[in-house]
Amino acid sequence: LEHFRAQKTCTTCPYCGVGCGVTATVKNRGDEQAASVAGDEQHPANAGRLCVKGSALAETLGEHGRLLRPRLRGRECDWDSAMDFMARQFKRTIAEHGPDSVAFYLSGQLLTEDYYVANKLMKGFIGSGNVDTNSRLCMSSAVAAYKRALGADAVPCCYEDLEEAELVVLVGSNAAWTHPILFQRMQAANAKLVVIDPRASATSEMADLHLAITPGSDGALFNGLLRFLSEVNSLDREFIKNHTENFSQTLDTAGEWTPEKTAEYCGLPLDQLMEFFTLFSHSEKTISFYSQGINQSSSGTDKNNAIINCHLATGRIGKPGAGPFSITGQPNAMGGREVGGLANMLAAHMDFTPENIDRVGRFWRSGSMANKPGLKAVDLFRAIENGEIKAVWIMATNPAVSMPDAGRVARALEKCPLVVVSDCVADTDTARCADLLLPATTWGEKNGTVTNSERRISRQRSFLTPPGEARHDWQIICDLATQMGFGEAFAYTHPVDIFREHAALSGFENQTGKPGSRAFDISALENLSRREYDQLQPVQWPVNSANPEGTQRLFADGRFYTASGRAQFVPVQPRSPEQKRSAEYPLWLNSGRLRDQWHTMTRTGRARKLLDHSELPEIQINPRDAKHWHVDDGQLVEVRSPRGTLCGRAALTGAQKAGELFAPIHWSETLAYRARVSALAEPVTDPYSGQPEFKQLSVQLKPL
Ligand code: SF4
């Protein structure tokens, strides 16, 4: 008789920042493992629902395409040789060129425990700030804006707010495809939906009002709204007086944005603009829900602040159904930031100040702390190109596809003296540049925590045996630390050891409740037993002595994390995109995700039911543009920018405005020749956040 053993594990989806709970059931039969997945009915993010990507997770499992053993310069080797090589190279580079000659580049796919030890090793023991992450490309502008306005990288809202709202304003977000479960929650509720997006999308189809604004004009739109709210007496003067600073100057700056001027700048009919303004002014419970269309801009931080200004001016923050709600793209972008995974942060939401460096140094018992911020992603890869960084370890991400001017990034990696890549996948554009490839575990094998867009920490639990010689990222990092002589500080035996230390650091010398205290505080979890960690239920931070059960919504008491305890209005001078259309490059190229695919398709590309795509990216083109450039539907086309070329298949659609194209982000050079959309982007960034401008690339089009 065949013997089957079925085991059910509650874990978290590895795709978008909604962070849905998943139950995985594994049947073991001898050495074989087969899994099925379903939505976790107990998880507050999704209550049993999964989108098409999440429900196909079981189909993406298996060894096909996995990296199973370390490879040193193309040849398989054992782990001892790999780690010995890496440690010697890192030590020699640091001895000869100093700690800032090395760097780690991390990923929102990593678990918080992985992130914590990587950050600790680089900033606490190697002594450099050079740890950055692909979250820089995703929402660093939202972080910078929250810090300017609220004093902390602290999302005020929770998902229940979407159901309590009277009005949801989606800005630069195609949530129906990118955050499907949240969009379903919005649709099930009774709120009016306004979509602000240059292109028509699956989301705008469902909207009560779609404002197809000129790309990049969001800052002006929200300045115009602020002026209008003041004109029609819709401000919450009590809230402004008691809980904020800098309102008058901000309103003065917005003063020039009359409805007529705003409508013209944003390319909108005046009556449509007024309909939105009136709806906003009349809806006490308003959520502004925004994503990459706002963040991936050379003025992304200001755009975020223009939105937040309107919420502060109406007191619509910290209340049920109201707030500025930035939505994360990746499953653990927020968890990475909690530990300090951005180069400009030290650890546990602490910036690089002398007091913080001293505090964290004492906590880590380190005498070789980094004393200044490291390089943000675009600058980090520039430093690799110009030889300042001579050794880089890239974990679970593919910058040779995702960075702006991606071809140049790939060339910089090829000439870097040491490139280490740890990944679960054997062949990626970045892996092809590696001297040393390290096999890492992936979803279903990893064990730790992630934080979703509403600050909810959930467990990712393992239910599969890692294939080949794959190791957990935190173990590989601790092995390197030990070989470099820091073993005592990295003697963890299980992710719970790391989590407890991370939780303890979050509360270390944190003056909870006082102005200037740190928002991220999970000190109530610092003594979890292994059993309690295994059984940890999803919980929203802060989780501390004042809020031992977690915190659904921030700022309900009108106190903020700034030095004064008051929220800050930020005057915004709208700026156009840096990448300008010209006679030579007369079109704008926008980019984004498809409904059924994720990042570079290394996982979703394996599921048959998600594989409804062509071998080439589809370039969406307005029929008028197609006629002008002699392009037929389905024809191969070339899109060219000053930086690079993208080849794809034309898809004619009225959803694109004339003068604007759209291409998906998922294709890489390993899938098709000249299919990377990021290769066309200029490496221009927001001055506050360092986030690159990906949404408005100036290009030309021709048939092939
Ligand atoms: Fe996964 Fe996001 Fe879909 Fe939820 S909405 S199942 S987190 S991809």
Closest CA to 380 of 661, 131, 561: 131
What is the CATH code for 5-60?
3.30.200.210
Distance 44 CA to ligand 1 centre (A): 13
Atom of ligand 1 nearest to the CA of 22: 6
- Confidence label for 2 from pLDDT (cuts 50, 70 and 90): very low
Amino acid sitting at position 487: G
Confirm or reject: Cβ of 50 under 6 Å from ligand 1: yes
The answer to whether residue 333 scores a pLDDT higher than 90 is no
pLDDT (0 to 100) of residue 467: 95
Contacts of 226 (CB under 8 A, 6+ apart): 250, 251, 254, 257, 306, 309, 310, 313
Distance 677 CA to ligand 1 centre (A): 24
Confirm or reject: Cβ of 406 under 6 Å from ligand 1: no
Confirm or reject: Cβ of 16 under 6 Å from ligand 1: yes
First to last CA, the chain: 61
- Confidence label for 605 from pLDDT (cuts 50, 70 and 90): confident
Give the other-Cβ count within 10 Å of 501's Cβ: 19
Confirm or reject: Cβ of 18 under 6 Å from ligand 1: yes
Topology of the domain covering 71-134+334-540: Rossmann fold (3.40.50)
Atom of ligand 1 nearest to the CA of 50: 6
**Residue minimizing CA distance to atom 4 of ligand 1:** 20
Confirm or reject: Cβ of 13 under 6 Å from ligand 1: yes
pLDDT tens digits for 544-585? Answer: 999 999 999 999 999 999 999 999 999 999 999 999 999 999
Largest CA distance in the chain: 80
Confirm or reject: Cβ of 407 under 6 Å from ligand 1: no
pLDDT (0 to 100) of residue 667: 82
**Residue minimizing CA distance to atom 2 of ligand 1:** 16
Helix%, strand%, coil% for the chain, nearest 5: 35, 20, 45
Confirm or reject: Cβ of 175 under 6 Å from ligand 1: no
pLDDT (0 to 100) of residue 1: 36
pLDDT (0 to 100) of residue 4: 46
Task: Quote the percentage of the chain above a pLDDT of 90.
Answer: 86
pLDDT (0 to 100) of residue 30: 67
Segment 155-166 shows an average pLDDT of 96
Distance 180 CA to ligand 1 centre (A): 7
Within the chain, which residue ranges are assigned CATH 3.40.228.10?
140-327
pLDDT (0 to 100) of residue 38: 96
* ipTM surpasses 0.95: yes
Atom of ligand 1 nearest to the CA of 52: 3
Contacts of 579 (CB under 8 A, 6+ apart): 641, 681, 682, 684, 693, 696, 697, 698
Burial degree of 244 (CB within 10 A; 0-12, 13-18, 19+): buried
Segment 31-39 shows an average pLDDT of 84
527 phi-psi bin (left φ>0, alpha ψ -120 to 50, beta other): alpha
β-partners of residue 71 are 76, 437
pLDDT (0 to 100) of residue 614: 65
The answer to whether residue 221 scores a pLDDT higher than 50 is yes
pLDDT (0 to 100) of residue 600: 76
DSSP secondary structure, 239-264, as one string: HHHHHEE-HHHHHHHHTT--HHHHHH
Distance 42 CA to ligand 1 centre (A): 15
Quote the tokens at residue 166.
């009277």
Domain 140-327 has CATH 3.40.228.10: yes
pLDDT (0 to 100) of residue 602: 75
Segment 182-192 shows an average pLDDT of 92
pLDDT tens digits for 94-150? Answer: 999 999 999 999 999 999 999 999 999 999 999 999 999 999 999 999 999 999 999
Distance 116 CA to ligand 1 centre (A): 24
Distance 584 CA to ligand 1 centre (A): 41
The answer to whether residue 329 scores a pLDDT higher than 70 is yes
The answer to whether residue 458 scores a pLDDT higher than 80 is yes
Within the chain, which residue ranges are assigned CATH 3.40.50.740?
71-134+334-540
Backbone dihedral angles phi then psi of residue 218, each to the nearest 5 degrees: -60, -40
Q: Tell me which of 592 and 663 has the higher pLDDT.
A: 663
Atom of ligand 1 nearest to the CA of 15: 8
pLDDT (0 to 100) of residue 514: 76
The answer to whether residue 331 scores a pLDDT higher than 90 is no
Within the chain, which residue ranges are assigned CATH 3.30.200.210?
5-60
**Pocket perturbation via mutation, ligand 1, pick of 11, 12, 13, 603 by most ligand atoms within 8 A of CB:** 13
- Confidence label for 622 from pLDDT (cuts 50, 70 and 90): very high
CB 464 within 8 A of CB 129: no
Within the chain, which residue ranges are assigned CATH 2.40.40.20?
587-703
Distance 185 CA to ligand 1 centre (A): 13
pLDDT tens digits for 234-273? Answer: 999 999 999 999 999 999 999 999 999 999 999 999 999 9
Quote the tokens at residue 60.
């993406």
**Average pLDDT over all residues of the chain:** 94
> d(Cα 667, Cα 109) in Å, to the nearest integer?
18
Quote the tokens at residue 159.
């998902």
Distance 328 CA to ligand 1 centre (A): 12
pLDDT (0 to 100) of residue 5: 54
Atom of ligand 1 nearest to the CA of 598: 8
> d(Cα 700, Cα 693) in Å, to the nearest integer?
18
Give the other-Cβ count within 10 Å of 41's Cβ: 11
Distance 13 CA to ligand 1 centre (A): 6
> d(Cα 407, Cα 377) in Å, to the nearest integer?
15
The answer to whether residue 496 scores a pLDDT higher than 70 is yes
pLDDT (0 to 100) of residue 426: 94
Confirm or reject: Cβ of 181 under 6 Å from ligand 1: yes
Domain 587-703 has CATH 2.40.40.20: yes
Segment 52-76 shows an average pLDDT of 92
Confirm or reject: Cβ of 22 under 6 Å from ligand 1: no
The answer to whether residue 6 scores a pLDDT higher than 70 is no
pLDDT tens digits for 508-536? Answer: 999 877 777 899 999 999 999 999 999 99
Task: Quote the percentage of the chain above a pLDDT of 70.
Answer: 98
The answer to whether residue 612 scores a pLDDT higher than 70 is no
Could you say which DSSP state residue 466 is in? P
Atom of ligand 1 nearest to the CA of 12: 7
pLDDT (0 to 100) of residue 31: 67
Contacts of 488 (CB under 8 A, 6+ apart): none
pLDDT (0 to 100) of residue 296: 94
Atom of ligand 1 nearest to the CA of 19: 7
- The CA dihedral of 28, 33, 39, 40, to the nearest 10 degrees, is 50
Q: From the CA atom positions of the chain, what is the Rg in Å?
A: 24
